[in-house]
Amino acid sequence: MSKAQAQTSSGKSYNRGQGRYKRGHDNSTDDDGVSSSRYQRTFTDEEKNDFVNYQKEMDERRDRYERIVKLSRDVIIECKRIIFQLHRTVTVNTSEGKEELLKEADKRFNEVRNKLLRQMAKELCYLDQYYYVKSYDWALEEYIEALAFYKFLTSGEVLLYSEVIDALQFVDADTEENKKLYMELPEITYLMGLFDVGGELMRLAISEVSSGNSETAVNIVNYMRLLYESYEFLGNIIHTAEWTKKSQVFRDCLMKVRFSFCG
């Protein structure tokens, strides 16, 4: 029996898995009879210009992102210096000296706002700010921390979200129409900034207890307890690793302040 007859009678193909054409070769042809494997796609001038424009746009976004990051670093550095200056109010014995330090801090806040934050708002003008939010939200957290610490020292009250929003509104005096500038403030950024003030309040409370001023320490405990209970009220609405970490740190600071009375 021949091989062909054996294949027919058994119903099995001896060429199974062996295509009619060799793999890796496309023998299809176009209408002109030319093999399509030889056809090469070319870009039109319009398509090339589109890609050039895409490249320019991406470069501009990246450059703007880096400029905002640089401004954010400057904001953080200056806010840390302001916080350090505010801590010096504990070491000053006279009310006039404390008032002078607070006035100097207020002046430095205005410089941060009018120079650095205003420039950031100009960079973000008429753009989707949430595209760049990761380049400046960490600076706003530090700014909110410093502002919240300053407000506690001056009034003993909590810094409100609306107050920060107002501080991030500007008028561009360089233009004839005095167009309005602003920075987006995500609610989570505001809450994270308030979390950070717990560490500064803890240091202040321990310093006050060491100097025998327990009244200020009691006010700090009440302030932090109220703030912590407000965060606890949110429950699991915000559940991120950073939120959990800052919540635990804030709670630890609160407990250390409370234990400082028992030292």
SS3 content of the chain, % helix, strand, coil (to 5): 70, 5, 25
Model pLDDT, residue 164:
97
Residue type, 239: H
Query: CA-CA distances (angstroms) from residue 109 to 112, 168, 194, 200?
Result: 5, 12, 17, 17
Residue 27: what are its φ and ψ, rounded to 5°? -95, 10
Determine whether the annotation assigns residue 215 to a binding site: no
- Yes or no: say if 87 and 203 are a contact pair by the CB < 8 Å rule: yes
- Give first-to-last CA distance, the chain, whole Å: 105
Calpha distance 71→15 (Å, rounded) = 70
pLDDT of residue 77: 98
pLDDT of the residue at 37? 53
121 touches 170 (CB < 8 A): yes
Amino acid at 43: F
Backbone dihedral region of 24: left (phi > 0), alpha (psi from -120 to 50 degrees) or beta?
A: left
Q: CA–CA separation, 258 vs 220, rounded Å?
A: 10
pLDDT in the model for residue 212: 80
Question: Any idea which fold 59-185 has?
Answer: Methane Monooxygenase Hydroxylase; Chain G, domain 1 (1.20.58)
CATH 1.20.58.190 maps onto the chain at 59-185
Pick the CATH number of 186-263 from 1.20.58, 2.60.40, 2.40.128, 1.10.1740: 1.20.58
- The predicted pLDDT at position 209 comes to 86
Residue numbers of the chain with a pLDDT score lower than 70: 1-41, 175-176, 236-237, 262-263
Q: Is 177 annotated as a binding residue?
A: no
pLDDT, tens only, 103-137: 999 999 999 999 999 999 999 988 889 889 999 99
* pLDDT for 254: 92
